[in-house]
Amino acid sequence: MAAPEARISEVRARAFSVPTEGPEGDGTLTWTATTLVVVQVTAGGLTGIGYTYADASAAAVVDGVLADCLDGCDAMDVSACWLSMRRRLRNVGVAGVAATAMSAVDTALWDLKARLLDLPLGVLLGRVRDNVPIYGSGGFTNLSDDDLARQLEAWVRRDGCRWVKMKIGADPGRDPHRMRIARRAIGNAALFIDANGAFTPREALHMACAAADLDVRWFEEPVSSDDLAGLCFVRDHAPPMMDIAAGEYGFDPGYFQKMLAAGSVDVLQADATRCLGITGFLQAATLAEVHHIPLSAHCAPALHAAIGVSVPNLRHLEWFADHVRIEAMLFDGAPTPHAGAVSPPTGRPGLGLALKEADAERFAARVPA
């Protein structure tokens, strides 16, 4: 049977700025709103959807250079579209805003192809599992002790998470106390910590030693992800049961290759909304596989649930409080956890997601020209 041909007739991006329920903070940043950029690509009478958490300027990159280079291309040829976009961004600079824009378009193209074939994305890519384990993630540095305990405990008791992650690094003197609060709240679940690059290598090692007494099993970005030697130092000296993880700022395969080749991480993280889409995420997974390193998906849980069923070396995905809330509000089909795992919605083609237009419109943000 010949594959259907579907020429791309429209590429459209919109930005939505959703206020947080209260101020949120990690080791190196605070924020009061999160911006979601949603891309729709139309071909053959169907529309695919993709998204990224990025600045609203990513929507302008989509509507400008990326829409221009995809006009009239065959939507079934996702790889050709990906190459065309990457070439088009050469002189713009791929890393950063452009990569988030291209990521959302690539995701929309995969969603569209699956819809054109009337297949769930997992079936199109080839499934290795029915659901994807999640770890609860939040524990912002500005939470009260009670709110921290409540949030982490709920992921374990209500959602069945085997692992939960909290932020550290904003006030290192309080972090051992905060980690003890968390440890008490989560019973036998494993505690993960994320410093978002707040520490020097020696500061990070000091924190790793304090955390080891609390059976912390994961230390994410103990130092800046740009400091591969620093990550190696912490990895070499950290307690043996503590995984060192990084990779969320990877915008292209070369970034992951350098991180893996340096031996900087026990678990590689990648984010399909930044690393050139589903295509780039699968490349990151393959690179990690070559280095015998497991992969963990960063944020955007609805998207990673849909991809994750098809990635052999995926350990888990990040059930990030901020994005869980936004995706439940704005996407019909956003997954809900069951026994510590999520599944893409059954019986729906593509990602299985649809934008709740009326709900989203309330958060429409201005896209810079």
Q: Which residues are catalytic?
A: 167, 298
Residue pair 17/322 in contact (Cβ under 8 Å)? The answer is no
CA-based angle 30:171:166, to the nearest 5? 65
Residue 280 to residue 303: CA distance in whole angstroms: 13
The least distance separating Mg ion from the CB of residue 195, rounded to whole angstroms, comes to 9
Segment lying near Mg ion (by CB under 5 A), choices 172-180, 187-195, 271-279, 287-295: 187-195
Q: Rule CB under 5 A: which of 217-276 touch Mg ion?
A: 220
Residue 193 to residue 206: CA distance in whole angstroms: 14
Site string (189-208) toward Mg ion, x via CB under 5 A: -----x--------------
The least distance separating Mg ion from the CB of residue 243, rounded to whole angstroms, comes to 13
DSSP 100: H
Segment lying near Mg ion (by CB under 5 A), choices 155-163, 215-223, 232-240, 355-363: 215-223
Total residues at the site for Mg ion (CB under 5 A)? 2
Residue 20 to residue 142: CA distance in whole angstroms: 13
111 sits near Mg ion (criterion: CB under 5 A):
no
Whose Cβ is closer to Mg ion: residue 76's or residue 179's? 179
**Terminal alpha carbon distance of the chain:** 44
Q: Which residues contact 231 (CB under 8 A, 6 or more apart)?
A: 222, 223, 225, 244, 246, 259, 262, 264, 265
Segment lying near Mg ion (by CB under 5 A), choices 58-66, 75-83, 106-114, 213-221: 213-221
Phi, psi (rounded to 5 degrees) for 267:
-135, 130
The least distance separating Mg ion from the CB of residue 227, rounded to whole angstroms, comes to 15
The least distance separating Mg ion from the CB of residue 262, rounded to whole angstroms, comes to 19
Whose Cβ is closer to Mg ion: residue 110's or residue 192's? 192
Q: Binding residues for Mg ion, per CB under 5 A?
A: 194, 220
